[in-house]
A and B are shown apart, each in its own frame.
Chain A
Amino acid sequence: MNKIYSIKVAGAAGQGIKSTGAKLAKFVSGHGLNVYNYHEYPSLIRGGHNTVQTMFSLDPVNSPIQKLDVLVAFNQESIDLHLSELNPEGILIYDEKMEAPKIESGIKIFPAPLSEIEKGFEAIKKIVVDNLLNNLDMSRDNNKIVITGAEAIGSAAIAAGLQFSAIYPMSPISGILDHIAKYQEKYGYLYKQPEDEIAAINMCIGASFAGARAMTATSGGGFCLMTEGYGLAGITETPIVIILGMRPGPATGLPTWNEQGDLQFVLNAHQGDFPRIVLAAGDSEEAFNLTLIAFNLAERYTCPVVVLVDKNICEHEQSFKPFEYAKYQIETPNRRLPGTGIHFVANSDEHDDEGFSTESAQIRVTQMKKRMDKLEVCAKNDMPSPQLVGPALADLTIVSWGSCKGAILDAMQSFPNVNFLHLTWFSPFPAQAVGEILAKAKNILAIEQNYSGQMTRLIREKTGIEIKNKLLKYDGRMFYREEIEEAINVSLRAAAKQSL
Chain B
Amino acid sequence: MTANDLNTKIFPNWCPGCGNFGIWAAFKNAAVAQNWDNTNTVIVAGIGCHSHIINFVNLTAFEGLHGRALPVATGIKLANHKLNVFVFTGDGDCLGEGGNHFIHACRRNINLTILLHDNAVYGLTTGQTSPTSPCSYTSRSTPGGNIDSPLNPIALAIASGATFVARAYSTDIKSLSQILIDANNHDGLAVVDIMQPCVTFNKDYTHNFFQTSSYQLGEDYDPTNKIKALEKSFEWAGDNSKIPLGIIYKENRPSYESQLPQLKNGPLVSVPATKRDISSLFRV
Contact = CB atoms under 8 A, between A and B. Distances in A.
Contacts of A347: 54, 61-63
Interface in A168-206: 183-185, 187-190, 192, 194-196, 198-200, 202-206
B282 A357 contact: no
Interface in B44-103: 44, 47, 52, 54-55, 58-65, 68, 70-80, 82-83, 100-101
Interface residues of B, number: 57
A190 B282 contact: no
A213 to B, nearest CB: 5
Contact of B262 (A184, A196, A207): A184
Given A146-B283, A210-B83, A339 B39 contact: yes
Interface stretch (B126-134, B209-217, B219-227, B267-275): B267-275
Given A163-B79, A209-B76, A210-B75, A348 B65 contact: yes
Contact of A145 (B80, B261, B283): B283
Given A202-B71, A345-B63, A346-B63, A192 B273 contact: no
A185 B276 contact: no
A161 B59 CA distance: 29
B38 A210 contact: no
A239 to B, nearest CB: 11
B279 interface: yes
A41 B44 CA distance: 44
Contacts of A144: 284
A451 B158 CA distance: 50
A340 B101 CA distance: 28
B260 A190 contact: yes
Contact of B47 (A214, A348, A356): A348
A212 B268 contact: yes
Nearest to B63: A347
Residue among B10, B261, B276 with the highest chain A CB neighbour number at 10 A: B276
Contacts of B283: 26, 145-147, 151
Contacts of B279: 322
Interface string B12-49: 00000000000000000000000001111010100100
B8 interface: yes
Contact of B75 (A147, A203, A356): A203
B71 A203 contact: yes
A96 B125 CA distance: 70
Contacts of A341: 37-39
B281 interface: yes
B278 A159 contact: yes
Contacts of A203: 71-72, 74-75, 78
Interface stretch (A129-137, A326-334, A408-416): A326-334
A397 B130 CA distance: 59
B229 to A, nearest CB: 24
A199 B71 contact: yes
A155 interface: yes
B52 A338 contact: no
B281 A342 contact: no
Interface in A330-381: 330, 332, 337-349, 355-357
B62 A161 contact: no
Contact of B65 (A146, A212, A232): A232
Interface in A111-164: 142, 144-147, 151, 155, 158-164
Given A147-B283, A151-B281, A345 B61 contact: yes
A329 to B, nearest CB: 7
A187 B276 contact: yes
B111 to A, nearest CB: 14
Contacts of A232: 64-65, 68
B68 A161 contact: no
A158 B284 contact: no
Residue among B9, B38, B83 with the highest chain A CB neighbour number at 10 A: B38
B275 A330 contact: yes
Nearest to B110: A192
A206 B71 contact: yes
Contacts of A200: 71
A166 interface: yes
Contacts of B58: 343
Given A198-B68, A323-B282, A345 B268 contact: no
A337 B262 CA distance: 21
A339 B273 contact: no
Interface of B: 8-10, 37-40, 42, 44, 47, 52, 54-55, 58-65, 68, 70-80, 82-83, 100-101, 104, 260-263, 268-269, 271-279, 281-284
Interface of A: 26, 142, 144-147, 151, 155, 158-164, 166, 183-185, 187-190, 192, 194-196, 198-200, 202-214, 228-229, 232, 236, 322-323, 325, 328-330, 332, 337-349, 355-357
28 contacts: A146-B284, A161-B274, A161-B275, A192-B74, A194-B104, A199-B100, A203-B71, A206-B73, A208-B75, A209-B62, A209-B76, A210-B75, A210-B79, A210-B83, A229-B68, A325-B278, A330-B274, A338-B76, A339-B42, A341-B37, A343-B59, A344-B60, A345-B55, A345-B62, A345-B63, A347-B62, A357-B54, A357-B63
- Give the 7 A-B CB pairs with smallest separation, nearest first: A206-B75, A161-B273, A202-B71, A210-B79, A207-B75, A206-B72, A203-B75
Given A205-B75, A210-B80, 14 more contacts: A26-B283, A147-B283, A161-B274, A163-B79, A188-B268, A192-B78, A199-B71, A206-B44, A207-B268, A208-B75, A211-B79, A232-B68, A328-B275, A347-B54
